[in-house]
């Protein structure tokens, strides 16, 4: 029976993957390791509560690597999924932090895992941002064009892992997702912010709104991770995302419709961000043909899921920040 460690375990994507793992009867153990204490149930979704197979531990991948490694040695997981990253594509402030977290800490983690006897595979969560803006779906072989310190650091991490596989046969896969959303996502992100603002009668600030992104529900993302862990050949890189992108404006229109509001009731249009990539769009045919992946949650269903989450936990969301605050 397989055991798993989720690094960056406080992130909403990690929460959804832990939920997916615990729904599998074959799962023996899941340890989530995050840099912060667990937040309210609005963000943990109650995942793992009362399940003896689940544990949450606190360790910072950059500042507490020794504690992280001791936890891994104690639990001896076979499969490691690395969500830990400093994201936020639009900022150049403190850009060195991206490299500390996304490259240096990852390389230290890999060196430790290489010495672990129970370790079978690392799945590293990368990003579609390293392709930059595209005018047609980008395959895994598409020329990379990172346009932010975040995207550059994630590309460097991918290259480091690919070299480790080629030179040392380090067992790994890389997954490059489109924009993933779902219940428990931080309110500084567009979709949960739009849901929250719509429910409390405020307007979400919408910068331009014409940029196109591919939005995938966290359940489908978790399913893709599971397929890769157990079915993909070592060293393979996979894209994952829906077939077609939509404008950010259309996404907010769907939120407004789901709450029975007009678009003008929920959105305050602002100038677009300078230098923002116009389109993120992935070709996911490889994971479909190789591993049999199929998307199951439509955008409309996913937004209904987000609205239901917002209504259920609205009282817990009032004091949460809606603005991005850079952290190391």
What per-residue confidence (pLDDT) applies to 94? 74
What per-residue confidence (pLDDT) applies to 132? 86
Q: pLDDT digits over 240-250, tens only?
A: 999 988 998 99
Say how many residues make up the chain.
328
d(CA 212, CA 281): 8
* Three-state DSSP class for residue 260: coil
8 Å CB contact between 201 and 310? no
Domains along the sequence of the chain with CATH: 3-180+215-240 (3.40.50.720), 185-213+244-317 (3.90.25.10)
d(CA 172, CA 223): 18
| pTM for the full predicted model | 0.93
Distance of CA 23 to the CA centre of its chain: 19
What per-residue confidence (pLDDT) applies to 59? 97
Report strand pairing: 204-207 vs 237-240.
unpaired
Place of tokens 């230098």: 275
Averaged pLDDT in 10-residue chunks for the chain of 328 residues = 96 97 97 95 96 97 96 97 81 81 96 94 95 90 92 96 98 96 94 95 82 92 98 98 91 95 88 68 95 96 97 92 57
Cα–Cα distance list, 62 to 101, 102, 109 (Å): 6, 9, 10
Q: pLDDT digits over 135-182, tens only?
A: 889 999 999 999 889 999 999 999 999 999 999 999 999 999 999 999
Among 139, 144, 143, residue whose Cα is nearest residue 156: 144
């Amino acid at each position: 029976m397989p055991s798993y460690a989720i690094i960056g375990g406080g992130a909403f994507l990690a929460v959804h993957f832990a939920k997916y793992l615990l729904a599998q009867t074959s799962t023996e153990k899941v340890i989530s390791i995050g840099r912060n204490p667990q937040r309210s149930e609005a963000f943990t979704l109650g995942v793992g509560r009362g399940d003896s197979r689940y544990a949450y531990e606190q360790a910072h991948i950059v500042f507490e690597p020794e504690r992280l490694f001791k936890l891994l040695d104690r639990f001896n997981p076979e499969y490691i999924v690395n969500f830990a990253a400093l994201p936020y594509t639009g900022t150049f402030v403190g850009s060195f932090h991206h490299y500390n977290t996304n490259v240096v800490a990852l390389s230290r983690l890999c060196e430790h895992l290489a010495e672990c006897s129970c370790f079978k595979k690392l799945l590293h969560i990368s990003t579609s941002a390293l392709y930059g803006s595209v005018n047609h779906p980008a395959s895994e072989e598409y020329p990379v064009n990172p346009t932010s310190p975040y995207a550059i650091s994630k590309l460097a991490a991918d290259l480091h892992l690919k070299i480790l596989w080629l030179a040392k046969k380090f067992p790994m896969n890389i997954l490059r997702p489109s924009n993933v959303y779902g219940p428990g996502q931080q309110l500084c992100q567009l979709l949960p912010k739009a849901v929250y603002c719509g429910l409390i009668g405020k307007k979400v600030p919408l910068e331009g709104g014409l940029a196109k992104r591919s939005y995938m529900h966290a359940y489908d993302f978790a399913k893709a991770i599971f397929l890769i862990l157990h079915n993909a050949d070592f060293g393979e890189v996979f894209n994952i995302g829906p077939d077609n992108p939509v404008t950010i404006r259309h996404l907010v229109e769907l939120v407004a419709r789901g709450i029975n509001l007009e678009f003008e009731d929920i959105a305050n249009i602002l100038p677009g961000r300078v230098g923002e990539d116009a389109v993120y769009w992935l070709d996911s045919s490889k994971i479909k043909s190789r591993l049999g992946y199929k998307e199951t949650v439509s955008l409309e269903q996913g937004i209904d899921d987000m609205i239901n989450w917002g209504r259920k936990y609205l009282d817990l969301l009032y004091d949460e920040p809606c603005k991005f605050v850079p952290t190391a």
